[in-house]
Amino acid sequence: SNEHEGKPRAAFEIERRRLLELAVESGAPEESGTALYQNELSELLPRPTPLSLSLMQSLWEPGGSTDLACRILGIPYEAEEEGAELLVSAFGHLYINRPVEKRRSASGPGLIASFRLTRDAWKLKQNYQEVFLPGYLSELKIREAIDLSRLETSELLELFRQWRENLRTRTHVQVELINIAADFYMRSAERAIRGKVPVLPEGPRTIVRQALELLPAIKRGERDSADFIELYGHRSIHDYELSSPRYNEDPELLAGLVAMASSEDHSPVTARDQTRAASSSIASIAAERASQFQSLKEEAKHHCLREFALLRRLLLELDGRLEMDGEIFQLKLEELDGIDADAPCASLRALAAKRLEEGELFSEIALKTKLTMTDLEKLDPTPVSEQLRTSSADLKGLVVAGDSWALGAARVLNSPSEIESFKEGEILVARFTDPSWTPVFSRAAGLITEVGGRLSHAAILAREINVPAIVGVEGATSSIRTGDLVRMHQDGGIELLANVGADGTAQPRLRASLLRQNEIIEAMVVNVSRNGAMVATKEDLLPGQDLKVVLADSDTKIRARVIARKAPGQYSIRFEKPLEEKGLDGPLLS
């Protein structure tokens, strides 16, 4: 029994020492400097299998996709042949090696590269959509039609090498060209409007949004599941994880998405105030370019993921031939390359089983999104469920979407499986999101994530539907609890106006009176935004009714109209004029 209990602890110590040695080898600063951190790549591949990790590492290694794309654009990318890896697994989670990242991209685009990117935006887009994409899609059709069962095992192994090399040196190079350009144009748009969040003009709908908009009609029985599969079938909950089933493989995956979706069509985005973006012709051009390329980024990723689906099909065929029992994803690329099709694979099967067992030992380990040398030295194997609430005094992140502040009750979710608990008008708080979270976005008053950037999944979708979003908020999920009353400020600050108690007691809400003709209706304001609110009352309200809203301890009467009944006793209302944030600092009454 003692031996059984000591095994996880011993494995924990071995992994902790490995990470410390890696940090020292990489040149991580002592004590407070960041050694490892999570970014958008961690969002794409949160808990990678060894095979998926080694494939992703190959894309960022010297001579890989990022290196080749930077060479084309004339941007320095100082990747060392014998240096430490950029992408690192830490207790099963994907992290970025910060010292390595800083060395590789220290220079950034120089004057000439910046000039070319600015000048050649539409040429880049045209080259991808009109030169590269048509031939690529035709080639994919042929590859998808191959009957892999008719090939010899040795031929499958060779085909896997060819396909992944094509991904590394051709297809993903195109994706990285668009990614780098999209990030450059988003930053340019921010600078053009003096560092504020770009309120982008309406651009092409992203593939994710198109797929999301099918779900309500499928739920009502008006559209067939085949429509979703045709558009999105090669995608997965975790697209870059080769072991993750695709929607066209498992009907239950789509059924889960449909179950989480609203049965109502997504409301059109309210008219946006584009004055900031249109204040000058330069700002207008920058905003338009950023809008076009955030959609193009998602398009390039979407088509490239068909290759990941093809690689998965091929690997599943190999898994059966080699009698790996589904564990081929526990191997690394170099181990697959070393397989002799005619020799027994008992040692590889044992290695895969060992790695799977070791990975399960770390399933409950909770890590911060940023790890310093001191953090690694003091790391303790405390399960997520036992972690104490941390301070919320310095909660701040990057505002990436929304043209107003937001206030509402927080809902902290750790996985898509918890989405059913989300209530209309709450503020979603998560470590990060992926496309399987999208049914929540249109129902949320705001979005807070610990991981993410300007072009993360959460940022792009939030901008499309104009939901306030703040990303990169370190410690959000351990500082905020479900039920806390949270205000999201436009400078990226997050304020906890009232905490839920340790006993789970519901937090106070803003009390309000609703004036309907000569009638006074008592209500609670569940959340507030610049343009409207969600109110809870025991009285029946009808869509279209005009009201005057008086917040607690305030004499100000706010003209509003009932828009819809969102849940029993809960109604969304829209203000006649946008509400100023001042005046909401009055007492919060229980």
- Residues 365, 307 share a domain: no
- Residues 287, 157 share a domain: yes
Q: Is the pLDDT of residue 272 over 50?
A: no
Q: What pLDDT does 509 receive?
A: 58
- Residues 491, 524 share a domain: no
| Within-domain flag for 450 | yes
- Residues 360, 326 share a domain: no
- Residues 46, 6 share a domain: yes
Q: Which residue has the higher pLDDT, 454 or 244?
A: 244
Nearest by Cα to 178 from 108, 138, 129: 129
Q: Which residue has the higher pLDDT, 527 or 517?
A: 517
Which residues span the domain enclosing 290? 111-194+273-342
Q: Which residue has the higher pLDDT, 519 or 439?
A: 519
Task: Write out pLDDT tens, residues 468-515.
Answer: 999 999 989 988 999 888 889 888 999 887 665 554 544 445 678 888
Span 361-370, average pLDDT = 86
For the chain, what is the radius of gyration of the CA atoms?
25
Q: What pLDDT does 152 receive?
A: 95
| Within-domain flag for 332 | yes
- Residues 145, 17 share a domain: no
- Residues 38, 137 share a domain: no
Global pTM reads 0.82
| Within-domain flag for 545 | yes
- Residues 302, 154 share a domain: yes
Task: Tell me the CATH number at 456.
Answer: 3.50.30.10
Asked if residues 454 and 187 have their Cβ atoms less than 8 Å apart, the reply is yes
Asked if residues 553 and 586 have their Cβ atoms less than 8 Å apart, the reply is yes
Find the length of the chain: 590
Task: Write out pLDDT tens, residues 530-578.
Answer: 677 888 888 889 889 998 888 765 667 888 999 888 777 888 888 888 7
d(CA 353, CA 338): 18
Task: Write out pLDDT tens, residues 327-348.
Answer: 999 999 999 999 988 777 889 9
- Residues 488, 412 share a domain: yes
CA distances from 378 to 31, 363, 381 (A): 11, 19, 10
Q: What pLDDT does 340 receive?
A: 86
Asked if residues 383 and 456 have their Cβ atoms less than 8 Å apart, the reply is no
